[in-house]
Amino acid sequence: MNIYVRSRLFRSNLINNLICFYSTSTPEVIDQNDRVLIDDSDETTARENEIEKKRNKSGLSAAHLNIMNGRRPYETPKHLSHLTVKHNRKLYGKYGSESGVNPSLCWPTKLDIQEALEYESVAFPYTIREVMESAALRKQEEKLKIQKRETDIAAKYAKLEQWKKELRDKLAKKAAEAESAKIKKERLVEEVRRHFGFTLDPRDERFQEMLAKREKEQRKLEKQAKRDAKEKMMFAKLQQKNVEIKDTPKR
Amino acid sequence: MGSRQIVEKSLTLLRSLPRISLNNIRDNPGSKKTQKRGRGQHGGDKHGSGNKGSGQRQNFMRLGYETGNNPFYLRVPQEHYYRGHHHRRQYPPLSLLTLQRIIDTNRVDVTVPIDIASIVKTGFYSFFPDQKHFGINLIDEGVDIFEAKINIEVQWASEQVIAAIERNGGVITTAYYDPHSLFLLRNPKKFFETGQAIPRRMIPPPDAIEYYTSAENRGYLADPDQISEARLKLAQKYGYKLPVIENDPKYNMLCERKDPRQIFYGLEPGWVVNLKDECILKPKDEELKRFYSL
């Protein structure tokens, strides 16, 4: 806590200390001592005081009377807070140079300045230009991000029709395969039924056995057909080659 | 004969009995209720809290708590439109209509630049810096009838508002003030009475810097050349002829701007204003000067 004791001795000391740092421009306030003859003998002042006392019919306390007349309420501090710099600044702000407070108190001390600078270096670490640049950079980055996403979407959209066709073909193929398999199975079942000569429950064991047998046969047949086809192919190829071999020596 | 005898007998009995009077009647049974003496203000009642349980014990549950149910305020999924709204800067609005009224009723001096302090002084606008209010948002209500030539400084303005002011040969600037400076501008007298030196205005926060550095918003940190270009562009966009302020007799007034560190027109940071003595004290110490010119 900054403490400022308003004693005559200490104030003069303060003034001596501070006047070297801060000088103020308040000449018009100070230069008001016109040459007027004032009878300041003890008797007259005592009488004046007496008259003033009698005139004051307000019943206000001394402090309130001072405030009413635009003076600081009391000269002696009544509370610990009256010793603070803040309070003395307020006295100066409110009652002016009449308050007797040294106006150099209005400015921060060297320590205060250091603290303020330290605070500002933490609270506002970047200059306006730096902040502007970083804001511009961030904006640019966001813009690039959006652009990238848009081009990505456009590229994907261009391929969309192709992908749709592929999917549709795949589905159709799958459906056709399922259909053919179903027909095959039905045919087998029909054949088995014909073999027995009466409608047999497909869950029956005999039926199942017969079906398996038929399927096996069918598979065998298919295999055979495949092999035949392959042989045929090979044979055709060989024949082709033979023809070619025959043809070449003629030339 | 027997019944006649009985009648005679009962009649004699009745005649021998005394006449019915207040002395010998009694109340109807159940017509009177004996008063019970309760204890306490309401006769030992429960004071409206009922009998037994949570109600009697007055264990008021926290707001929104539904005794174990999934509370209503948590039942709907969260929506984040307003996330962090209590941290955002607010700019209470002032319409161009009100501004025109202020000017027409001579509540503000148009021969000098207008800022938030002079507008607050008219009593037509108030704001609370402690409630995240960051100054005037000049809105476009009354944009068609606005016809004053002014040099105004607000904290937020839309494109139409800027166009409306510049069409009339005026000048607008959007400037940022930190809350502390706004307290000073809101009530300068109160600040001057504290006997402190006028502080510096702080720089805007990072999320506001873009607004206050752009010439389109007439930001106070924008490049003046860009601003004049933007003025011309806006005039073309809205289709009005931009008055040449260089030829204006009020040119000096229209060109006046605050320093980015300045809070009051005509007063620099570091000065002490004493209203009692009607004087201004300026620091002469080099360190103080350096600090206040940072």
Domain-wise residue ranges, chain A: 53-109, 160-247
Name the residue among B213, B276, B285 with its Cβ closest to that of A22. Answer: B285
What is residue A235's predicted lDDT score, i.e. its pLDDT? 93
Contact A93 B275 (CB under 8 A): yes
Query: Which of the residues B176, B190, B196, B221 would you substitute to probe the A interface, choosing the one with the greatest number of A C-beta atoms within 10 Å?
Result: B196
Q: Dump pLDDT digits (tens) for B245-254.
A: 999 999 999 9
Backbone angles phi, psi at A2, to 5 degrees: -80, 120
Query: Chain B contact for A4, CB < 8 A?
Result: no
Does ipTM come in above 0.95?
A: no
Contact B288 A113 (CB under 8 A): yes
The residue assigned the tokens 């007055």 is B58
Query: Which of the residues B281, B282, B287 would you substitute to probe the A interface, choosing the one with the greatest number of A C-beta atoms within 10 Å?
Result: B281
Q: Dump pLDDT digits (tens) for B171-198.
A: 999 999 999 999 999 999 999 999 999 9
Tokens of B219: 């930001």
Query: Chain B contact for A103, CB < 8 A?
Result: yes
d(CA B118, CA B102): 11
B196 interaction partners in chain A (CB closer than 8 Å): 89, 93, 106
The most confident of A24-38, B2-16, B216-230, by mean pLDDT: B216-230
Specify burial of residue B262 (Cβ count, 10 A radius: 0-12, 13-18, 19+): middle
pLDDT greater than 60 at residue B165: yes
Query: Chain B contact for A210, CB < 8 A?
Result: no
Query: Chain B contact for A131, CB < 8 A?
Result: yes
Q: Which residue of A has its CA nearest to B213?
A: A132
Those residues whose C-beta lies under 8 Å from the C-beta of residue B142, and which sit 6 or more positions away, are: B95, B96, B97, B98, B99, B100
Backbone angles phi, psi at A149, to 5 degrees: -65, -40
Backbone angles phi, psi at B132, to 5 degrees: 65, 25
DSSP letter, residue B20: P
d(CA B220, CA B218): 6
What is residue B55's predicted lDDT score, i.e. its pLDDT? 83
Those residues whose C-beta lies under 8 Å from the C-beta of residue A115, and which sit 6 or more positions away, are: none
Contact B276 A90 (CB under 8 A): no
What is residue B36's predicted lDDT score, i.e. its pLDDT? 83
Min CA distance, B223 vs chain A (Å)?
A: 12
Q: If DSSP codes are grouped into helix, strand and coil, which group holds residue B163?
A: helix
Min CA distance, B201 vs chain A (Å)?
A: 12
Three-class secondary structure assignment of chain A: CCECCCCHHHHHHHHHHHCCCCCCCCHHHHCCCCCCCCCCCHHHHHHHHHHHHHHCCCCCCHHHHHHHCCCCCCCCCCCHHHHEHHHHHHHHHHHHHHHCCCHHHHCCCHHHHHHHHHHHHHHCCCCHHHHHHHHHHHHHHHHHHHHHHHHHHHHHHHCHHHHHHHHHHHHHHHHHHHHHHHHHHHHHHHHHHHHHCCCCCCCCHHHHHHHHHHHHHHHHHHHHHHHHHHHHHHHHHHHHHHHHHHHHHHC
Contact B209 A139 (CB under 8 A): no
Min CA distance, A93 vs chain B (Å)?
A: 4
Report residue B1's pLDDT band, with 50, 70 and 90 as the boundaries. low
B250 touches A74 (CB < 8 A): no
Interface size A-B, in CB pairs within 8 Å, comes to 100
Q: Is the dihedral of CA B15, B16, B20, B21 positive or negative?
A: positive
Q: Nearest CA to B175 among B94, B114, B240, B103?
A: B114
Average pLDDT value for residue range B140-168: 96
pLDDT greater than 60 at residue B133: yes
Residue type for B240, please? Y
Backbone angles phi, psi at B162, to 5 degrees: -60, -45
Name the residue among A26, A93, A131 with its Cβ closest to that of B195. Answer: A93
**Cα–Cα separations (whole angstroms), residue A79 to A5, A82, B33, B40:** 11, 5, 67, 48
B179 touches B127 (CB < 8 A): no
B291 interaction partners in chain A (CB closer than 8 Å): 108, 113, 116-117
Query: Chain B contact for A108, CB < 8 A?
Result: yes
Average pLDDT value for residue range B268-293: 95
Query: Chain B contact for A77, CB < 8 A?
Result: no
Low-confidence ranges of chain A (pLDDT < 50): 1-32
What is residue A238's predicted lDDT score, i.e. its pLDDT? 92
DSSP letter, residue B291: H
Strand order in the sheet with B137-139: B93-95, B137-139, B156-157
**Cα–Cα separations (whole angstroms), residue A55 to A42, A52, A67:** 20, 5, 17
B209 interaction partners in chain A (CB closer than 8 Å): 128, 131-132, 135
d(CA A237, CA A156): 46
The contact set of B with A (CB < 8 A) is: 192-197, 202-203, 206, 209-210, 213, 221, 260, 270, 272, 274-277, 279-285, 287-288, 291, 294
Query: Chain B contact for A106, CB < 8 A?
Result: yes
Share of chain B above pLDDT 90, in %: 73
pLDDT greater than 70 at residue B154: yes
What is residue B40's predicted lDDT score, i.e. its pLDDT? 82
Contact B194 A89 (CB under 8 A): yes
What is residue B35's predicted lDDT score, i.e. its pLDDT? 84
